[in-house]
Amino acid sequence: MFSYYQDFKSSRIMDSFLQMVPQWAKILRDGERKELPVTELVVGDIVLLETGDRVPADIRILECQGLKVDNVSITRESIPVIRTANIPQTGNIIHAKNMVFFSTNVVEGIGKGVVVACGDHTVMGRVAKLTSRLSTRPTPLSREIHRFMKMISCWAVFLGVSFFCISVAMSYNWIDSVVFLIGIIVANMPEGIIATMTVSLTLTAKRMDNKNCLVKNLEAIETLGCTAVICSDKTSTLTQNKMTVRSIFFPYIGKISCKKCHNDQLIRRYQKIVFARTSPVQKLQIVESCQRLHLITAVTGDDVNDSPALKKADIGIAMDVAGSDVSKHVADLILLDDNFASIVTGIEEGRRIFDNLKSSIAYTLASNVPEITPFLAFVVFEIPLPLGVICILCIDLGTDIWPAISLAYEKSESDIMLRY
C-alpha cells in the first residue's frame, strides 16, 4: 500500500506538470507555416512566437521585435524580461538573453527561434523528472515509532520465550506453556499505539485547518514541531516580501552551491544565509546539506522551481493563493492564507502533539504491567489463569485506548515555545 501511495503521488506530480504544457505550436517546416501539436516538435524546428503564446520548447531566438517573456515559473522574476537575438549565450543557460524556455509565456512582441530541447530535455522537463524521482525521508515521528516498536517487540519476545522456558522447566505441559508465551507477548505489545497516534494527529490536523494550515501528511504535524532549519523561497513567500540580510553568497560567482562541503560549512557557520539566484538543483543541494548535518529541514515555496526542494525536505510547505499546482501536490502542508507566520502556529501544534503522544505512550506502557501480572502468578504460584489472551486484547483495544486518546486533547504547556 505504501508503494502504491508513493506511485500515486508521483503520478499526481507529473499530471500537474502536464497542465503547464502548451498544446500547439506554430512552426516553419519545409518552407511552410504549420500549426502542430507540441508532442511532434523536434530539435531544429523553427518556431514562431507571438504575444499570448506559451513557449512550446526551449528555443534559441534567431529574430525578434520587442519580445518580452514572463519567466516567473523558471527564475521567479516577477517582471517580464526582454529577449534578443544579438547577444550570444554566456554562463548559465537560465540567464541567457537569447533563450526562451518551455512553459513560459510571451507577454509582448514577436519572435522566431530554433528548438534546442524538447520534452524531458527542457529546463522544466528536467525539473519535473527530478521531482518525480526524488525519494522522501521517513518523518522523525515514524522513525521514533518504528524504533520504539522494534525495541518493545524484542523485549516482549525475549520475556515470552524466557518464561516459556521457565514454565517448561517447572514441568508445565506444552499447551499451558504456549498459552503463557502468547499471553506474555500480547500483554507487552501496545496494540493501540498506532490508532492513538493516528487519532491524535487527525485531531491536530483539524485544529490547524481552523488556523489556515491545511495538512496533507498527518505525520508532518509533528515534523514541523521539531524543525531546526527553515529554507524559504523569498519571492512572494515571506509575509512582507522583505528579508534582513546577514550574509550573502552568490553560487554562480563563487560556485558555492556546486560543492557539498562548502554548503555544509556555510550552514554550520551561519544561522541566517541568503543564497541568491539559485536554480532548482541548487535549492535541492542546500536542503540535502542541511539533512546531512542531521537537521530537520522545512522548505517553503510556491512555484515549480521549488518543487524538488519541497519534496526532498522533511516537511514541504506550499502557498495556497500564490502557489502553483505542482508545489501544492508536492508539499506536506499548505498555508491557506499565504501567511509565513502561520508556520509558528504549526510548530506549536507539532510540539504539543509530541508531548501528548509521549503521555499516551507512557499510559499505554503503564497499563501493560497489570496485564502481565496474572501470567506471572499463573507460573509462579500455580493459580488458575484469570485473564486469557483474548481478554487482554479486549482490554487493550476496548478500554485502554480511550484514556490514551483522551490525552490528545490536552492543551500545550505555557513554555512549549521556549524549550528548544
Catalytic residues: 233
Beta-carbon neighbour count of residue 299 at 10 Å?
30
Cell of residue 339, nine digits? 501567511
Q: How many residues does the chain have?
A: 420
Rounded to whole angstroms, the Cα distance separating 236 from 106 reads: 21
Question: Is 17 in a helix, a strand, or coil?
Answer: helix
Question: Is 331 in a helix, a strand, or coil?
Answer: coil
Q: How far is CA 179 from CA 87, 156, 386, 398, in A?
A: 83, 14, 13, 22
Rounded to whole angstroms, the Cα distance separating 328 from 320 reads: 7
Cell of residue 207, nine digits? 485544529
Rounded to whole angstroms, the Cα distance separating 408 from 392 reads: 23
Rounded to whole angstroms, the Cα distance separating 252 from 91 reads: 9
Rounded to whole angstroms, the Cα distance separating 355 from 255 reads: 43
Rounded to whole angstroms, the Cα distance separating 234 from 18 reads: 26
The answer to whether 328 and 351 have CB atoms below 8 angstroms apart is: no
